[in-house]
Structure 1
Amino acid sequence: MAEAWPDIPYLPWRDSCAALHLWSQIVGKYRLANTPWMNHSWHATLYVDARGLTTGLVPDGPGIEIAFDFQRHALIGITTDGRSAEFPLGAMSVADFRRQFLDLLAMLGGNPVFNGRPNEVVAPVPFAEDFAERPYDGEAVARFFDACVSVVRVFKRFRTGFLGKVSPVHLFWGSFDLAVTRFSGRPAPLHPGGVPALPDAVTREAYSHEVSSAGFWPGGGGVDYPAFYSYAYPPPPGFSQAIVAPAEAFFHETLGEFLLPYDAVRRAADPEAMLMAFLGSTYRAAADAGKWDVAALECLPGVPGVPRAVR
């Protein structure tokens, strides 16, 4: 049986996580190359499903879906005309993963042309030239997937309490984080850019409007443990000094965002309630400091089978 909030310490599987991060970029860049641009790069993301991570249906060839199956530990491709292909996930180089992925696309009738360089990593090595052998800790990956399932359940519930523009709950393979983002509806100042190995035009389009964004990532990027985060762009005056819940949450000055260690949630008597408190209080800190029109933007969280009341 899967554990709802498993122990997922970052350091023991850091190298496997780095491999999975780069492999997800290869698959994500395939989706990106074949999907019309959607606001804030929502067309490029991956989604948690019953097996692991999926592209959803990519409008390429007959229609292709690529999925990381973290139960069988395989990369699987299926098409709308009944074809399928797969290869096992295991210790291999990024270049080897790319080669096998291109072979899989060929079997499915897919387009093998997509950008060949990683994004949002320091000193990126082109995928085709990254021959370093990478480990694959299947047990750690499976635990990470179980955690993502629980996180997505809470993020999706949090998403229902907003009438304004709000993103899907999705995984950005650039920074390898699950995210859900609320928008005030107002344009934001031009973003300065400067994200490593990411075109400034992409960053500026992503942050074209004011946001309060929350997410989860397994570790890395200056934090050697899995954590939830919440930030605002542009950061309104006083945001970093806001009092948020739970007590274990804090503002990380270097990252410029609130953090809540995953382990605090995992060990809580009611993990979902603790995470909802973090999501709600950090959003409210951004909305209050940024003077959002909360009366027009908010609603009660959704309940299964009950239509939202309309005045």
Structure 2
Amino acid sequence: MPSGDRGRELWPPLPYVDWKDTLYAVHRWTQVVGKMRLALTPLVNHWWNSTLVVTPRGLTTLMIPSGDDAFQIDFDFVDHELVVVTSRGGRSAIPLLPMSVAQFYRQVLELLARLGVPDPGILPVPVEVATAIPFMDDLEVRPYDREKVRRFQDVLIRTQFVFDRFRADFLGKASPPQFFWGGFDLASARFSGRRGPAYAGGSAPNVHIHVMHEAYSHELIAAGFWLGSDDTPRPEFYSYAMPAPPGLAEATIGPESAGWVAARGEFILPYDAMRTAADPAATLLTFLQSTYDVAADLGAWDRPLLEERPRCDCVRLPSSSHADG
């Protein structure tokens, strides 16, 4: 794994205060697009049907049904455009530029109409934000800093690499890394296989409590990457268990720069502490593994069942390129 100066090049700085206005815009834009996927796809447990997915160039909805046809919306943070393609061969794009949320929303609907895609009919109000200005009423022109957005994309890709490596060691039900546009975080979860107790906590701002009931219907340990907010103006990695087993707050985890935040009920690893470590990716993997270990042990998860691969009588294992034949 890259270390030292090379590691810091791969994990660029993302100071919240330097790009919070661009972040505001891109966050709302992803909500516009994510809500379209949510509106047109069947519910998958824990809202997995609503999330966006990291690509080499940005974020994608993957395929969305529209009657007997389909379309897909991609944020391209390399060429800085929003691209829509359809199953009928259509393709159209709009440039990502400084603009208001209202202008972006209007342009997306116009783009879909040009391609013959009906209005998805979303609820045009943002969620998981303290001040929920309806999209069409959000008229302030927001900046779009291409360099900061490209840095964000680089970090998403490298975070996904580490999350994928971490997920590979778990044999139970586990989500792929997914980009949740509500909280604007890349996250992944592992499940014990048991139902969780009825959720009795609070809800994120402007979010119906049923969203939380569906999200936490089963026991899980989740981890993710978040860009920060005005209240917490720094990017962070987080890890939590739902429900949190007794003793979790007092558990020892790694690395030393990580710790428990009681007010949020989760472990936190500051992004800057990770990116400036001798081996950033290994530091992040240590955080993911150690927080999972303590939560799974304290929660009495059946770890042999969930982690130990079945043995077979093969003389030798096939290479990955010949695994199917």
| TM category, shorter | over 0.9
Check the 8 A contact 1:70/1:145 in 2, yes or no: yes
Cα drift, residue 4 of structure 1: 2.2
**Corresponding residue for 2:235?**
226
**Corresponding residue for 2:215?**
206
- What SS does structure 2 have at the residue aligned with 1:128? helix
**Corresponding residue for 1:287?**
296
- What SS does structure 2 have at the residue aligned with 1:50? coil
Write the distance in 2 (CA, Å) between the matches of 1:252 and 1:142.
Answer: 30
Cα drift, residue 307 of structure 1: 9.7
Cα distance change on mapping 1:232 and 1:222 into 2, 3 Å: farther
The answer as to 2:246 corresponding to 1:237 is yes
**Corresponding residue for 2:42?**
36
Check the 8 A contact 1:119/1:197 in 2, yes or no: yes
Cα drift, residue 305 of structure 1: 2.1
Residue ranges of structure 2 left out of the alignment (5+ in a row): 1-7, 310-317
**Corresponding residue for 1:60?**
66
- What SS does structure 2 have at the residue aligned with 1:42? helix
What pairs with 1:1-311 in structure 2 (closer than 5 Å)?
3-61=9-67, 62-112=69-119, 113-192=121-200, 193-220=202-229, 222-299=231-308, 305=320
Write the distance in 2 (CA, Å) between the matches of 1:116 and 1:126.
Answer: 6
Residue ranges of structure 1 left out of the alignment (5+ in a row): none
Check the 8 A contact 1:64/1:108 in 2, yes or no: no
Write the distance in 2 (CA, Å) between the matches of 1:179 and 1:111.
Answer: 31
- Tell me the alpha carbon deviations over residues 117-157 of structure 1, each in whole angstroms, 9 at most, x when there is no partner: 11111131111111122111111000010011000000011
- What SS does structure 2 have at the residue aligned with 1:63? strand
Percent of residue pairs identical: 49
Q: TM-score, normalised by structure 1?
A: 0.94
The structure number with the bigger radius of gyration is: 2
Write the distance in 1 (CA, Å) between the matches of 2:47 and 2:33.
Answer: 15
Write the distance in 2 (CA, Å) between the matches of 1:279 and 1:146.
Answer: 20
| Range with greater deviation from structure 2 (217-226 or 266-275) | 217-226
Write the distance in 2 (CA, Å) between the matches of 1:267 and 1:168.
Answer: 27
Write the distance in 2 (CA, Å) between the matches of 1:111 and 1:266.
Answer: 44
Write the distance in 2 (CA, Å) between the matches of 1:240 and 1:304.
Answer: 42
Write the distance in 1 (CA, Å) between the matches of 2:250 and 2:238.
Answer: 15
Cα drift, residue 111 of structure 1: 2.9
- What SS does structure 2 have at the residue aligned with 1:265? helix
Cα drift, residue 267 of structure 1: 1.3
| Range with greater deviation from structure 2 (123-132 or 210-219) | 123-132
Write the distance in 1 (CA, Å) between the matches of 2:238 and 2:188.
Answer: 11
**Corresponding residue for 2:3?**
none
Moved over 4 A (4+): none
Cα distance change on mapping 1:307 and 1:202 into 2, 3 Å: farther
Cα distance change on mapping 1:98 and 1:117 into 2, 3 Å: same
Cα distance change on mapping 1:298 and 1:250 into 2, 3 Å: same
Write the distance in 1 (CA, Å) between the matches of 2:287 and 2:168.
Answer: 16
Letter in 2 for 1:190: A
